[in-house]
Structure 1
Amino acid sequence: MRMRLAGVLGVVAGLLLAGPAAQAQKFGWVDSEFIMGKMPEFAKAQKELNGLSETWQKEIEAQKKDLDHLYHTYHDEEVVLTEPMKKKRQDEILLKEQEIKTYQNKQFGYEGQLFKKRQELNKPVQDKVFEAIEKVAKKKQLAMVIDKAGDLTLLYTNPTYDYTEFVLEELGLAAEDRNQPGTKGPVKTVAPPKTPGASADPAFESDSGTPDKATDAKAKRAAGKSPK
């Protein structure tokens, strides 16, 4: 953790000490793991890896059952075995244990079959992502792009500098509600609601602003009776 934090601080310090010209350059960050998680070819690779892992795990479980059988058989027959026979059985058990450990390391250990297969299947996906990142960096004129999912631990990331969605767009996987201009539809106007019971009120003025006939007639009669 300290080494990763030191790495981040080193990058930031390098930018600050590089002078105003370097500081004025644009930079951004992406989340490569999030991007690959959106790619169908990555999902296909993971499915194949999971299948291999399950197959090898079943083989190991079968070998462990054989080992358990040797254990129980030896335990049940120990009292009737001679010392040379006991030694032979014990050697068989130890050999079986070693075989299981060797096979397990071969399939799941560091640089084992699963590790190599993961590299083989993921490399084309990673190369495709890196190519898309490079294209986005050139289009957006970025001097540096940091991978949020990499070895550097980013304690804070400003969404303003997040170019993950742009990379997804370059790969044809962008969400419809991100990085897309809003569509402008026709302007709709809503007529104001009429007041309940307005037709019974002679002083009510309609929505169009034109007095109704009853109100107009009453106003004329009132005007004719007004004192001079």
Structure 2
Amino acid sequence: MIFTNRYLYLLIALIFLGLNLKAQRANKIGYVDMDYILEQVPEYRQSQNRLNQRVQQWKTEIEQKRQQIEDLKNQLKAEKPLLTDELIEEKEDEIKFLEEELLAYKNSKFGVEGDYITQKRQLIQPIQDQVFNAIQDIGLNRSYDFIFENSADALMLFSAKRHDLSDIVLRMIQIKARGNQDTEEVLKDMKPYKSVKKAEKDEKDAAERKAKLEERKSERERLMEERQRRFDSIKEAREKKFEEKRQKILKKRAEQKRKRDSIREARENNN
């Protein structure tokens, strides 16, 4: 990666030196997440997938060789009582040769200078170079004092998200990949750098604005609920009044019907 652990003490020394030399102003610090950037580059993902396939093939071959050796050992163990010393020695030499051959194959694929490390380095190096160039542009044009790397291979215990330059670097790489060397617009679009005090103040202001918005929202909801309650109350009163009126009409009709029935019954009795 861009920064490795062997540079850790040097970086710490530079930080303290910068703090002493620039005590009159706060240091401007940023970082990039190399793992994140790599995952966003399609060419890297495609090459990484091809490398992973080769790695799987190497592991399969290693397992096959290991199993072959294990089978020969088991065979020798079973046949040993029937073999002469000369044949036993010959088979043991064959097993030893295959074990040494397997160890050499493992080292050639996964050793310090093996194919995996070499191809991984070749895969990452072009993107690292682009990231390094983008960081130089950002550092010089936006007056950064330090830009660090945050990845699996770098020691970054904590950093506020506002210092993350990864997306800016990624945009610059993508623009240059399209053949456009002018990244000035990307630099102009960068948000102003915030010191700790400024960030804390902005966060406090944002929290206060959010609280006020929530308060207004709650008040609007309360008013709407109150309006709905009044509406429901009026509606309920109207429905009650309508029902009372309807019941009176039904009662009156029933009374009139009862009278008519009574008169009709009286007439029938008189006849």
Corresponding residue for residue 156 of structure 1: 158
Output the amino acid matched with 2:101. E
Aligned equivalents of 1:104, 1:58: Cα separation in 2: 12
Give 1:152 shift: 5.1
Larger radius of gyration: 2
Shift of 1:136: 2.8
Query: Aligned partner of 1:141: which letter?
Result: S
Aligned partner of 1:204 in structure 2 is none
Aligned residue in 2 for 1:16: 19
Name the CA distance, whole Å, in 1 between partners of 2:26 and 2:172: 26
Cα distance in 2, alignment partners of residues 50 and 152 from structure 1:
23
Residue 110 (structure 2) aligns with: 108
Q: For 1:118, which of 113, 120, 128 is the aligned residue? A: 120
Matched residue, 1:97: 99
Measured at CA, do residues 151 and 171 of structure 1 come closer, stay the same or move farther in structure 2, by a change above 3 Å?
same
Matches within 5 A, 1:118-197: 118-149=120-151, 153-172=155-174, 195-196=230-231, 197=234
What TM-score results when the alignment is normalised by the length of structure 2?
A: 0.58
Which residue number in structure 2 is paired with residue 83 of structure 1?
Answer: 85
Summarize the Cα distance change of 1:152–1:51 in structure 2 as closer, same or farther, 3 Å threshold: closer
Q: Which moved more, 1:142-151 or 1:30-39?
A: 142-151
Q: Distance in 1 between matches of 2:102 and 2:131?
A: 38
- Provide the rounded CA distance (Å) in 2 between the counterparts of 1:62 and 1:150: 32
Structure 1: 5+ residue runs without aligned partners? 181-191, 202-228
Question: Is contact 1:36-1:129 (8 Å) kept?
Answer: no
TM-superposed deviation, 1:133? 2.4
Cα distance, 1:118–1:27 mapped onto 2, change above 3 Å: same
Shift of 1:139: 3.8
SS state at 1:157 partner: coil
Amino acid at match of 1:17: N
In the TM superposition, what is the alpha-carbon distance from 1:7 to its structure 2 partner?
4.6
Structure 2 CA distance for aligned equivalents of residues 104 and 170 of structure 1: 39
Asked if structure 1 preserves the Cα contact closer than 8 Å seen for 2:19 and 2:27, the reply is: no
1:90-118 per-residue CA deviation (whole Å, 9 max, x = no partner) reads: 11111111111111111111110111111
Asked if structure 1 preserves the Cα contact closer than 8 Å seen for 2:18 and 2:27, the reply is no
Q: Does 1:67 align with 2:69?
A: yes
Distance 1:76 1:111 in 2: 39
Task: Give the corresponding residue for 1:184.
Answer: none
Q: How much identity, in percent, do the aligned residues show? A: 25
Q: 1:150 to 1:83 in 2, by over 3 A?
A: closer
Query: Could you list the per-position Cα deviations for residues 67-104 of structure 1 after superposition, in whole angstroms to 9, with x for gaps in the alignment?
Result: 12211221111001111111111111111111111111
Provide the aligned C-alpha RMSD in A.
Answer: 3.3
Following the alignment from structure 2 to structure 1, what is the Cα–Cα distance between the partners of residues 104 and 174?
44
Can you list the C-alpha shifts for 1:7-56, whole angstroms capped at 9, x where unaligned?
553232121222446x5553321212221122112211210110110111
Check 1:6–1:127 CA distance in 2 against 1; reply closer, same or farther (3 A cut).
Answer: closer
Say if 1:8 and 1:152, in contact at 8 Å, map to a contact too.
no
Paired residue secondary structure (1:28): strand
Report if aligned partners of 2:62, 2:106 keep a CA contact under 8 Å in 1. yes
Q: Name the structure with the higher helix share.
A: 2
Which runs of no fewer than 5 residues in structure 2 stay unpaired? 176-188, 192-223, 239-271
